[in-house]
Structure 1
Amino acid sequence: MSASRPTILDVASRAGVSKSLVSLALSGSPKVSEKSRLRIERAAQDLGYRLNAAARSLAIQKSRTLGVLVLDLHNPVFAEILDGVQTEVRQHGFSTMLVSGGEDPTLEHRQINTLQEFQIEGLILISHRLSADVLKAVAREIPTVTVTRDDIPISRMDMVCNDDISGARLAVDHLASLGHERIVCLSGGDNPVSHARARGYSEGMEDHALAHYSTIVSGGLTDSAGYRAAQEALQGDPTALFVVNDIAAMGAIAAVEEAGLSVPEDISVIGYDGIRLAGLRSINLTTVAQPLAELGRLAATRMLERLDQPQRPAQHDQVASRVVVRGTTGPPPAHPRSSAS
């Protein structure tokens, strides 16, 4: 073996196969038998050979890479959706390039431009803050799938999301079934998903003839925002809080406990999303759980279908949530803290 960098010809010679078979095997082609693939991979490993992805992309005019923009890398919801995306695309021989705009639409657009410079074949947006005009321009240039948001329909752009209105109604159904009436919603701020969940809350309160108790406190999607919103909500003596995401619900619980109250004996708290963290014994949060990994897998599937059929009509998928009952919800207290109605 020479001191120079090993080539694909070196791998072919060591494995006793053709150069083209090596290229197919290392690209994950299903046309190569398992026995040949293992022999080629072993030869490449022994030689320290790595496939030159850039050269391969130039040769076949395809990068086998999908770009993924994640709204917020600190939010576990998006991380769990991303897991589903990557699991699915890897099974089809694709890689992913990940960027985040940090909720800044201008930076998001720049990051998408950077992805396109690397010749990505498609773009998956795990939430975003892009304007309708920018999103339309992006979708015209490259196959695009959005996840969690479906408020900007675009021709030939697929959308995958949770039915947030129905999910929020499930939260109210659960609390009402326990006997709660003074249910306050802590919203997630000014974004389409939070608006949909607040709407579902209002509809749920109407369903249970509790509209006169309806109260929406403006909050956010962070634990600190949930904490502040809960402090405000406690002034109205609620018996239950519906918080529009799990992270904010954890902040709300902290505010309830700092006020000298117990969860769920004095106040029940239900979150939304179903992140793994919510199921930890120390948190034990009742939540409206989205199938997060399924959202990611479905988005990846729609992208792969779009690459095969670029002109097919846009598809809009909505998945259903379910209530996961844990330790933060229970019946309202027998003796309310005040006579407020």
Structure 2
Amino acid sequence: MADEQPWPRRRVTLADVAKHAGVSTALVSIVMRDAPGASPASRQRILAVAKQLGYRPDVRARSLASLKASVIGVLFGRAGRFHLELIDGLYAAAEERGWDLVLSALTTSRDEKRALASLHDFRFDALIMLGPPVAEPLLAGSVPLVVMGWHVDHPDVDIVRTSDEHGIALAVQHLVDLGHRRIAHLQGGTGLVAVARRDAYIHAMRDRGLGTEIRVVPCDGEDQLDGQRAARALLDEGSELPTAIVAFNDDIAAAAMSVLGQQGVDVPGDVSIIGFDDSVVAHSPGIDLTSIQQIPHEMARLAVDRIIARTSGDAVPDRDLVLEPELQIRSTTGPAPA
């Protein structure tokens, strides 16, 4: 048998597999559906031919032919490395349960409505939203829907998120324990998650008697370029630098580290920095970032479980599932400078 072919130029059909295997299309369909009616030898031969030809099931046709829900639409946007880790977790959780994912991206020219329109072509049965973080999702109440990362008041929307309040409080307390008072926050845009983390920072500072030290530096968005701009704005203000920074996410924190380092500011000797997500960025060589840990694969598993429970008609006791994060302390935080 020749090596498996690269991605075919046109979609390989059941008829193509049947022709090359020398069997009927009906028999190939039986094997692909893992239904009874094919001998072990025929099944093995058909699967080998399908692999060689690069056959992949037609998700839309299978969804239409099935009597149960099988396709989850996923809406995601430009939100740093953490969303990529969530998507990886969603693929793993869905595959384990025999479901399929169809992704649709949000961009600067492609809003929620347009991204959902492309998902409709796949007849998706449920929706998981990683973005945009909106208070009223367009399909709330129309399909089983889980949002990941923020709170929605709609009673028909399930939520899987990490407690921003608890996570930011852990970060601020860690810095206070190290002697820091001038603690700034780099805010990642104006979305619901960014506002929630900013408010959590303000609350944590006031709770610790540091209300007069509150300093919020806005970012245009959530990626490393936005973090670089925010760090430069912090340097250009002309006022005294904070001794510590709590960033919206790891991408912004890593970018701030880079800009400060270029200007001769030592991390953590002069400024301690904490990120949020504990993504692969935090673990990268040369960064070793203290970060508030979210667990994307666990969050993804819980989101898929919620979808399956809703489509099966099972009871869901609490639609707002809030996970408590932990602070992973690494080399970017240290005692406040004298």
Q: Structure 2 length as normaliser, TM-score?
A: 0.83
* Aligned mates of 1:293, 1:159 — CA distance in 2: 15
* Aligned mates of 2:132, 2:182 — CA distance in 1: 34
1:142 partner letter = V
Residues 101-131 of structure 1 deviation map (CA, whole Å, 9 limit, x = unaligned): 1255x63212212212211111111121556
Give the one of 62, 69, 74 matched to 1:68: 74
Q: Which moved more, 1:234-243 or 1:178-187?
A: 234-243
Residue 338 (structure 1) aligns with: none
Deviation at 1:39, TM superposition (A): 6.1
Q: Is the 8 A contact 1:11 1:47 kept in 2?
A: no
Distance 1:154 1:39, change over 3 A: farther
Residue 88 (structure 2) aligns with: 83
Residue 45 (structure 2) aligns with: 43
2:95 partner letter = R
Deviation at 1:269, TM superposition (A): 0.8
1:58 aligns with 2:69: no
Residue 224 (structure 1) aligns with: 225
Distance 1:103 1:173, change over 3 A: farther
Residues 209-229 of structure 1 deviation map (CA, whole Å, 9 limit, x = unaligned): 222211111124222222232
Distance 1:143 1:207, change over 3 A: same
Q: Is the 8 A contact 2:18 2:24 kept in 1?
A: no
Percent of matched pairs sharing the same residue: 29
Q: Is the 8 A contact 1:69 1:98 kept in 2?
A: yes
1:187 aligns with 2:187: yes
* Aligned mates of 2:58, 2:284 — CA distance in 1: 43
Residues 49-85 of structure 1 deviation map (CA, whole Å, 9 limit, x = unaligned): 845544443333556221111112x621101111111
Q: Which moved more, 1:186-195 or 1:219-228?
A: 219-228
2:46 partner letter = A
* Aligned mates of 1:127, 1:97 — CA distance in 2: 15
Residue 7 (structure 2) aligns with: none
2:300 partner letter = G
1:276 partner letter = V
1:94 aligns with 2:77: no
Helix, strand or coil at the partner of 2:302: helix
Q: Which moved more, 1:234-243 or 1:56-65?
A: 56-65
Distance 1:79 1:179, change over 3 A: same
Helix, strand or coil at the partner of 1:119: coil
Deviation at 1:146, TM superposition (A): 0.7
Residue 272 (structure 1) aligns with: 276
Deviation at 1:253, TM superposition (A): 1.1
Query: 5 Å matches for 1:10-25?
Result: 22=31, 24-25=33-34
Deviation at 1:180, TM superposition (A): 0.6
Query: 5 Å matches for 1:1-341?
Result: 5-7=16-18, 22=31, 24-25=33-34, 42-48=44-50, 50=55, 51-62=57-68, 64-72=70-78, 75-102=80-107, 107-130=111-134, 132=136, 135=137, 137-150=138-151, 152-219=152-219, 220-234=221-235, 235-309=239-313, 315-334=319-338
* Aligned mates of 1:273, 1:37 — CA distance in 2: 50
Helix, strand or coil at the partner of 1:138: coil
Distance 1:53 1:207, change over 3 A: closer
Distance 1:291 1:54, change over 3 A: closer
Listed as ranges, the gaps of 5+ residues in structure 2 are 1-14
Q: Tell me the number of residue pairs that the alignment of Structure 1 and Structure 2 aligns.
A: 314
Q: Is the 8 A contact 1:100 1:111 kept in 2?
A: yes
Residue 29 (structure 1) aligns with: none
* Aligned mates of 1:205, 1:52 — CA distance in 2: 54
* Aligned mates of 1:37, 1:276 — CA distance in 2: 46
Q: Is the 8 A contact 1:266 1:333 kept in 2?
A: yes
Distance 1:113 1:313, change over 3 A: farther
Listed as ranges, the gaps of 5+ residues in structure 1 are 27-31, 335-341
Q: Is the 8 A contact 1:108 1:130 kept in 2?
A: no
Superposition CA RMSD, Å: 3.0
* Aligned mates of 1:81, 1:155 — CA distance in 2: 24
Q: Is the 8 A contact 1:11 1:44 kept in 2?
A: no
* Aligned mates of 1:323, 1:39 — CA distance in 2: 55
Deviation at 1:169, TM superposition (A): 0.8
* Aligned mates of 2:66, 2:265 — CA distance in 1: 64
Q: Is the 8 A contact 1:71 1:100 kept in 2?
A: yes
Helix, strand or coil at the partner of 2:139: helix
Deviation at 1:162, TM superposition (A): 1.1
* Aligned mates of 1:65, 1:178 — CA distance in 2: 49
